[in-house]
């Protein structure tokens, strides 16, 4: 479609002009739809109204499309653990979980990919779900978020469209678990509000090294409410103890071939070995005055608040210390509901959050087949619970007495009369002051404060290192190169020019296209100060803790060098795995025999964070004739990892075309330090980046 044929709708989305012939968009009952972009709200920034039958029908149909697999986040890994509070937050919330310093609350956390089905792989470029169920003394609190702090859309009415676009194409059933295809980029290029999230999805954030090494976010702005009824806005953050770590694209592709369950196995084995994953819970706390002062709307889920603007206050930690006893009973059947909040935690009028509050319970009923899914052990509260609800499919409790309604006076007749409401301790929605309430005419419209779709995308891009910016450009080139419809890439480039002329030029060059005119914007693009906290590489920890080092050995390997290396790696908090052409009967220099952890052909170097080659002269000569060994070393170098070597093994590195930079060191005391990081300066010498 030509640039002149596009129009900008409220919220900045571009759509085809009305003069093109299209069927009338209607509900399933044939009622014409006037606006398919916005939920019906009370005022521009007010709450979404329950009477919105268009939203209800659309979400209802979407929630029931697949049984029993989750529509999104189908492939997941999970673990049990606990949350420990560092300090009392009684001044800002009545939530029981945040009252007593040092108190531990049981949790169940589930991590997942989004686009792929349950049978897909762990490591595609994708957003990762990060959901935590807290079993508090006031009932279950579910903090259901992602490893990215923003989202693709501003209004829940667009969620079915987003997921339909990114999922397998309807006519062919592929690609699985990938966004590099026509329908996704067609949708994204027509939805400028998605641009910020797109930057994150095309960055290394979508290629985590481990579930243990990624951040988590609640995405939306929530409220904390104290005993006096005062509200404080809050954004939730999970900070991994091991720091952030990603893979590089070529490594990711090879990981999919090497181990489809790479992340699942990594999480499970870390817990089994007693190296419990840990995250700290942080909060960005701010008031209405601060919210009003920001150049973006805190109710807009496509926006974040930089940590440099509102610091993250660390309030506790989550430790995962037990794997599920049964994958299906727990990981598959766990049902998270954003509407599960406890007194002292409340919602805002974020229209994406409002839609999620409605949608999740509906989809859990569809997936688990019963309104009694809360009785499944993994979903059941660990505190007493009671109400007047009875019967239903899969009812496993046996309520006693006649009382299945309230109020009742059966207790006066000596019968069990059931539970009663508690006006003091029960959940009460935040009422707010009249001047802060958002109300007005019933409208399908985006507020003007939601109209800026590019400033934060620009902020994110400018906050990255040069290397990370190159990765974003490379990712977009790869994805758009898979798009067959010729009009989509130029439209996307027209949008990217608002993010960065440098980025748009790199992508255009990579695709062999001429830069088009900039697309129209619904609001001016602002110059926001870069946020170093948004970069992985600027915040990496130089540590081997929680990592894994692969050591290539063979008959004749020096026993003393190998023994010291293993001790040094273990002391640094990493696992050491031995790799050879055979598993059993490897004879070392002192004539002792040992067993390898992995066979060379099935244990490629992409499974490790760093590698060492400890070979004798004879072993090196043998390995130099083994293509898998040469590739093992070549991949480690190409994936920017530290390589340790003995003098006798040097010729194997030369055959693998390894350049001896600062990351290629002899196996001595300097190796562990080198192995604690990646060497991104090496990248221009091993691959061409846009």
Structure token digits, residue 414: 């000596």
340 vs 95: CA distance, rounded Å: 13
Interacting residues of 263 by C-beta distance below 8 A, sequence separation 6+ = 77, 111, 122, 123, 208, 210, 211
Closest to 432 (Cα-Cα) out of 173, 675, 233, 190: 233
CA 688 centroid distance within chain: 28
Instruction: Quickly count: other Cβ atoms within 10 Å of residue 669's Cβ.
Output: 10
DSSP string across 632-681 = HHHHHHHTT--EEE-GGGHHHHHHTT----TTEEESSHHHHHHTTS--GG
Secondary structure E strands in 245-331 = 278-286, 313-322
Q: Are 301 and 150 in contact (CB under 8 A)?
A: yes
341 vs 143: CA distance, rounded Å: 8
Q: Output b/e per residue, 304-336; b: 16+ Cβ within 10 A.
A: bbbbeebebeebbbbbbeebbeeeeebbbbbbb
Q: Are 550 and 579 in contact (CB under 8 A)?
A: yes
Cis check: omega of the bond before 690, within 30 degrees of 0: no
Catalytic option among 146, 147, 379, 495: 146
Catalytic, 73? Answer yes
Catalytic option among 73, 220, 453, 639: 73
Q: Coil, strand, or helix at residue 467?
A: helix
DSSP lists the bridge partners of residue 40 as 444
The residue written with tokens 């109710």 in the block is 299
Q: Identify the DSSP state of 28.
A: T
Please list the active-site residues: 73, 146
């Amino acid at each position: 479609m030509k640039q002149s044929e596009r129009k900008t709708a409220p919220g900045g989305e571009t759509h085809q002009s009305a003069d093109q012939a299209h069927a009338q968009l209607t509900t399933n009952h044939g009622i014409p739809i006037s606006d398919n972009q916005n939920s019906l709200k009370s005022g521009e920034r007010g709450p979404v109204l329950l009477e919105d039958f268009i939203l209800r029908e659309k979400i209802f149909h979407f929630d029931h499309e697949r049984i029993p697999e989750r529509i999104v986040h189908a492939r997941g890994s999970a673990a049990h653990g606990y949350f420990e509070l560092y300090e009392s937050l009684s001044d800002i919330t009545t939530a029981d979980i945040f009252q007593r310093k040092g108190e531990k609350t049981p949790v169940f956390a589930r991590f997942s990919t989004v686009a792929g089905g349950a049978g897909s792989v762990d490591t595609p470029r994708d957003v990762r779900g990060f959901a935590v169920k807290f079993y508090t003394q006031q009932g279950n609190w579910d903090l259901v978020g992602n490893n990215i702090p923003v989202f693709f859309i501003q209004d829940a009415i667009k969620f079915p469209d987003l997921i339909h676009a990114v999922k397998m194409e309807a006519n062919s059933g592929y690609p699985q678990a990938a966004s590099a295809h026509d329908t996704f980029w067609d949708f994204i290029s027509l939805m400028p509000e998605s641009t910020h999230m797109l930057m994150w999805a095309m960055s290394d954030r979508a290629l985590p090294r481990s579930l243990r090494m990624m951040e988590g976010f609640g995405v939306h702005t929530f409220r904390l409410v104290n005993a006096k009824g005062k509200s404080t806005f809050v954004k939730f953050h999970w900070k991994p103890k091991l720091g952030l770590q990603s893979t590089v694209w070529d490594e990711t592709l090879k990981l999919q071939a090497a181990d489809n369950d790479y992340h699942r196995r990594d999480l499970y084995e870390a817990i089994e070995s007693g190296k419990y994953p840990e995250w700290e819970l942080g909060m960005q706390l701010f008031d209405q005055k601060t919210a009003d002062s920001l150049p973006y709307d805190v109710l807009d889920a496509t926006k974040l608040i930089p940590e440099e603007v509102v610091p993250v206050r660390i309030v506790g930690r989550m430790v995962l210390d037990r794997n599920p006893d049964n994958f299906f009973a727990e990981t598959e059947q766990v049902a998270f509901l954003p509407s599960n909040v406890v007194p002292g935690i409340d919602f805002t009028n974020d229209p994406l959050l409002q839609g999620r509050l409605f949608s999740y319970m509906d989809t859990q009923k569809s997936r688990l087949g019963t309104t009694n899914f809360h009785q499944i052990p993994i979903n059941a509260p660990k505190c007493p619970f009671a109400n007047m609800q009875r019967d239903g499919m899969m009812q496993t409790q046996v309520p006693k007495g006649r009382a299945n309604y309230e109020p009742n006076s059966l207790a006066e007749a000596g019968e069990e009369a059931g539970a009663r409401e508690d006006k003091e301790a029960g959940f009460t929605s935040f009422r707010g002051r009249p001047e802060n309430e958002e109300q007005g005419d019933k409208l399908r419209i985006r507020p003007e404060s939601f109209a800026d779709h590019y400033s934060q995308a620009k902020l994110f891009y400018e906050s990255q290192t040069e290397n990370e910016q190159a990765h974003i450009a490379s990712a977009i080139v790869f994805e758009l190169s898979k798009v067959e419809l010729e009009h989509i890439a130029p439209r996307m480039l027209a949008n990217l020019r608002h993010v960065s002329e440098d980025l748009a030029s790199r992508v255009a060059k990579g695709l062999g296209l001429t830069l088009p005119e900039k697309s129209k914007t619904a609001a001016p693009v602002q110059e926001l100060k870069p946020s170093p906290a948004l970069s992985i590489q600027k915040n990496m920890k130089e540590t081997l803790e929680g990592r894994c080092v692969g050591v290539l050995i063979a008959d004749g390997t020096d026993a003393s060098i190998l023994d010291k290396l293993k001790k040094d790696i273990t002391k640094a908090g990493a696992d050491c795995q031995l790799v050879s052409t055979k598993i059993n009967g490897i004879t070392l220099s002192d004539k002792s025999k040992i067993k390898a952890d992995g066979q060379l052909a099935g244990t490629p170097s992409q499974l490790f964070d760093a590698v060492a080659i400890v070979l004798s002269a004879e072993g090196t000569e043998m390995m130099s004739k083994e293509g898998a060994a040469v590739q093992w070393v070549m991949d480690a170098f190409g994936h920017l990892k530290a390589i340790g070597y003995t003098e006798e093994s040097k010729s194997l590195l030369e055959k693998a075309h390894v350049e001896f930079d600062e990351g290629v060191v002899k196996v001595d005391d300097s190796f562990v330090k080198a192995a604690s990081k990646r060497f991104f300066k090496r990248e221009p010498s091993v691959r061409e980046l846009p």
